[in-house]
Structure 1
Amino acid sequence: MWRSTCVSAETVPVESGQDEEQGTEGRKGFSRDVLKLVSGTTVSQALVIIASPILARLFSPEAFGLLAIFTSITKVLGVVSCLRYEFAIMLPEEERDAVNLLALCCAIVTGISLLTLPVMLFFESAIVTFLNAPGLAGNLWLVAPFVFVTGLFAALNYWNSRTRRYGRLSVARVVSSVAITGGQLAAGFGGSATGGALIGASAFGQGVATGVLGAQIYRDDRRRFSRHVSLTGIRSMLVRYRKFPLFESWSGLLNVSSWQLPSLLLPVFFSPVQVGYYSLAFRLIVLPMDLIGSAIQQVFFQRASNAERDGRLGDLTEPVFRILLRIGLFPMLTLALIGRELFSVVFGTAWAEAGLYTQLLAVWALVWFISSPLSTIYMVQEKQGFGLTMNIANFITRFAAIVAGGLTGSARLSILLFGVAGIVVYGFLCVRLLMFSGIPARRTAQIVGKALLPFLPVAALLGALKYAGAPMILPLVVGIGACGLYYLFLLRKDPELREVFSGIGLPGMR
């Protein structure tokens, strides 16, 4: 049964300098772990962002659309490639149990990948026809190995988080980004600017990343594996954490499927070109947010598991929520006003439609960015039923949004309704997760209102410039400049945000 996790300073006093020292070390440890992940993610995401304007001029929107469709298929299958047992790796107190969970994940992903290959080969023609994507023909056999390496990477990733060796993950991410981006650029400049080339480079890069991470883990942890892995232990973990395949597999499948609906349904109603616009918009709107969000999620999951056991989850969650809001709110709302101008200047006028898509999705991206790291709360509290319910709602509303736009013949309406559905579902999810942690909705509203105030003057100025018909470059310069000044001010005046980036610590870890 869920219980309140807010612990006041009066009920749990700091009795000694040693306790204060341990609290300080906890805050430092949280930020060190985040920064290790951020460092690798920064380099890998920077490579992708830097290369994107070049790739956008080498490859057509249709080629990007084919890559997005292929990636969506692999993500839908990949989410259940370990039957969600990978999430359980973080939970056991005994190392023996975690090791056997990792072995269980490796066995499951191998079996599912072997079953996927003949299915893709046999049904390739039907899949290509349904998705209205003839460019996928001859490439679907890659789905099986792609599912294998991504599923294995997910399991290794959670083992890595459990052992807090975040530097290894940073190396793997950088290597993956270099391999994928390098392969795509080589294909483009070599005259093979096709969707198949983008798909092949992505599969190669993911395989390299999994190999690098797996080699590092095997080198450092092979004695743990040989000492603890057993068939009895694997069977025990299979039963002990059966809620993950029973509930979380369906929840995860619905969640990922709902994310991939635009890439899978837009070509049915329109063509891969619209998928290409959406994929670039999604890529550029999510990657910067993912830079911090995914790193915080990795570390928050590990810390939240301990905080829940100690009855201090609320003390950890509120400052993390404030930081996520302050990081994401200003740039995402700015992008909602100047996305079309940004894409036209950076990627060329051929991609202006993708810029419009970013404007339609920006507010949803903000709400997602805030709620995503916090979503591990329901896993820590073993509320898998709640997660399943939310993902069912997410899938239904997004499916209805895309289909409604498709039936009216408007891709823009599909994207707009998709974004609105995400705002509603993820907004409700965020409020509920904070309540699970002991933070009331009224307190959440106060935090959001305070964070929103600095953006209002900038929104008024940008709106006035666009209404007056100012040159495209002017609102773009104003928006980017305002974001830069905002972050400089925060780093100077906001102690919580400064602690995250300086590695001093994170309030709430006391």
Structure 2
Amino acid sequence: MKVPVKLDHLSKATGILMGGTALGQAILLLALPLLTRLYTPEHFNVLAVYVAIVGVFAGAACLRLDVAISIPETADEARQLLVLAVTCASIVSVAVATGVWAVGELFSIDYGVDREFFSLLVGAGLFSIGALNAFQVWYVREKKFMSISLVKLSQAILSVMVQVAFGLLEGKTYGLLLGYIANSAVGASAFAMGLLWKASQTAHIALSELKKVFKDYSRFPKYSTLESLANEGASQVPILLIAFFVGGAEAGFLMLAARVLQAPIALLGNAVSQVFLSEAPEKERQGVLGEFALEMMVRLAKVGVGPLIAAGLLAPVLFPVVFGSQWQRSGELISWMTPWFIAQFMVSPVSLSLHVKGRQKVALVLQVFALVFRVAVVGVCVFAFSGFVVEAYAISGFIVYVVYLLCVLKVVGLHPLSLLIALKRALLPVVAFTGMGLCVLLAFGFLQAKGIV
């Protein structure tokens, strides 16, 4: 017998999280047309290299102990995991920064900026992202969604202020990088200060207790860390190949396209992921995790798939107008990337079910497959089809997330057909947004033909 899954309180939690996230994403998006005129595609290319390097290790900076913070039934155990996660982030960030500098010196890699300073920025950015992830999961566990929302808004404001200031003051070389770091640094600092106000959250924790908790949750460092490295590597290593082997500003064009497409994912997908993570362990104990995941995917489809399709239709003609003529290539890339981002948008929040079900090995195998497959596709194209590299990268992303979705459905006990049937409820808004996109595209073509735009 199907157990009903009530999501009223989840809708409220998601709405609170989306409030700050929506304002933050609006600020970031509204700033992009200014940033694309202050900075060149080559500047974004440097940012793309930096984000790719940091991105490979960002999810694993805490050795995935940050993900485990939501699982314990007691606050004491969760607090110990928080301390372990932040400690691991500090160690990993130093190691990665040292490695980036050493590899750069050994192979004379041109990062686009001073090699030593670039390495320091990698360490600073990686630690701030790791700490931010750990603190944020703690706040989700405590269901302090309003605090998270306000912090997200503050992150976006400061990030844009730094990037615009450096762009106006001719500090363009490091402006985008410092603004990117500021985003996570202010978030981590705000969360940390919030915890320090409460003495109960900063009580002394014995080293023996930390050792025991680390041993109890060792499956996360053992399996989930490699999974995260493979997951991020599948997305980021191909970008490094594109930046270093394709040349030009192709990685910069890809960076802008990804930032625009990621907006709805950051707006809704991340908020749903956090709410899903806060409730999934309890749903698993109740035996309704599958129904819970299915309902989440339907809700995502209703509000996100249509706008993504519309973006894919309109981007090639609107990008030169909105961001400047030199960014035409980014608009073209969005059309290729849309199917990939739709699949990612649908599966990413509910993919956390694998951890809740204790299937870290399955998640690891999936991510290793994604890494090998995507790097192989891009690697072959770099040397054999150099004019189709980024397009192949986008297609490989779509294939990977479809495979991932099928595996998640199997683990939570759902047949793919049940998802297709449930998605009928999302058909109307998807068709409506697609229709609006086509109407705008036709209207824009008419105005171009008349010479009005």
Q: Structures share a fold, TM > 0.5? A: yes
Local SS of the residue matching 2:63? coil
Local SS of the residue matching 1:81? coil
Amino acid at match of 2:160: T
Asked if residue 321 in structure 1 is aligned to residue 297 in structure 2, the reply is: yes
Equivalent of residue 212 in structure 2, options 236, 241, 251 = 236
Alpha carbons of structure 1 residues 322 and 267: separation in structure 2 relative to 1, 3 Å? same
1:328-339 correspondence to structure 2 within 5 Å:
328-339=304-315
How far residue 205 of structure 1 moved from its aligned partner, in angstroms, is 3.3
Most deviating of 392-401 and 464-473: 464-473
Alpha carbons of structure 1 residues 77 and 463: separation in structure 2 relative to 1, 3 Å? closer
How far residue 365 of structure 1 moved from its aligned partner, in angstroms, is 0.4
1:37-116 correspondence to structure 2 within 5 Å:
37-116=17-96
How far residue 399 of structure 1 moved from its aligned partner, in angstroms, is 0.7
1-structure distance, mates of 2:262, 2:308: 10
Q: How many residues align?
A: 448
Most deviating of 462-471 and 115-124: 462-471
Asked if residue 8 in structure 1 is aligned to residue 13 in structure 2, the reply is: no
The structure with more radius of gyration: 1
Tell me if the contact between 2:195 and 2:201 (Cα under 8 Å) persists in the aligned partners.
Answer: no
Asked if residue 434 in structure 1 is aligned to residue 405 in structure 2, the reply is: no
Tell me if the contact between 2:46 and 2:112 (Cα under 8 Å) persists in the aligned partners.
Answer: no
In structure 2, list runs of 5 or more residues that go unmatched.
Answer: none
1-structure distance, mates of 2:52, 2:75: 34
Give the match for residue 500 of structure 1: none
Tell me if the contact between 1:70 and 1:140 (Cα under 8 Å) persists in the aligned partners.
Answer: no
Equivalent of residue 270 in structure 2, options 287, 294, 297 = 294
Alpha carbons of structure 1 residues 136 and 49: separation in structure 2 relative to 1, 3 Å? farther
Give the match for residue 241 of structure 2: 265
TM-score (structure 2 length as normaliser): 0.91
Give the match for residue 187 of structure 2: 209
How far residue 449 of structure 1 moved from its aligned partner, in angstroms, is 5.4
1-structure distance, mates of 2:294, 2:35: 40
Local SS of the residue matching 2:162? helix
1:344-363 correspondence to structure 2 within 5 Å:
344-363=320-339
How far residue 66 of structure 1 moved from its aligned partner, in angstroms, is 0.3
Alpha carbons of structure 1 residues 331 and 126: separation in structure 2 relative to 1, 3 Å? farther
**Which whole-Å deviations, capped at 9, do the CAs of 1:354-411 have from their partners, x for residues lacking one?**
0001000001101100001011100100100110111011111211222232113535
**Which whole-Å deviations, capped at 9, do the CAs of 1:203-226 have from their partners, x for residues lacking one?**
233222211111012213x31441
Alpha carbons of structure 1 residues 317 and 136: separation in structure 2 relative to 1, 3 Å? same
Give the match for residue 223 of structure 1: 200
Amino acid at match of 1:104: L
Tell me if the contact between 2:159 and 2:180 (Cα under 8 Å) persists in the aligned partners.
Answer: yes
1-structure distance, mates of 2:432, 2:270: 30
Tell me if the contact between 1:329 and 1:452 (Cα under 8 Å) persists in the aligned partners.
Answer: no
Asked if residue 169 in structure 1 is aligned to residue 148 in structure 2, the reply is: yes
Aligned-residue sequence identity (percent) comes to 23
Tell me if the contact between 1:90 and 1:159 (Cα under 8 Å) persists in the aligned partners.
Answer: yes
The answer to which structure, 1 or 2, has the higher relative contact order (CA under 8 A, 6+ apart) is 1
Tell me if the contact between 2:86 and 2:134 (Cα under 8 Å) persists in the aligned partners.
Answer: yes
How far residue 465 of structure 1 moved from its aligned partner, in angstroms, is 9.5
Give the match for residue 154 of structure 1: 133
Give the match for residue 277 of structure 1: 253
TM-score (structure 1 length as normaliser): 0.82
Alpha carbons of structure 1 residues 419 and 118: separation in structure 2 relative to 1, 3 Å? closer
Tell me if the contact between 2:373 and 2:396 (Cα under 8 Å) persists in the aligned partners.
Answer: yes
1-structure distance, mates of 2:37, 2:224: 40
2-structure distance, mates of 1:149, 1:72: 16
Tell me if the contact between 2:310 and 2:436 (Cα under 8 Å) persists in the aligned partners.
Answer: no
Asked if residue 408 in structure 1 is aligned to residue 387 in structure 2, the reply is: no
Tell me if the contact between 1:65 and 1:263 (Cα under 8 Å) persists in the aligned partners.
Answer: no
Alpha carbons of structure 1 residues 460 and 43: separation in structure 2 relative to 1, 3 Å? closer
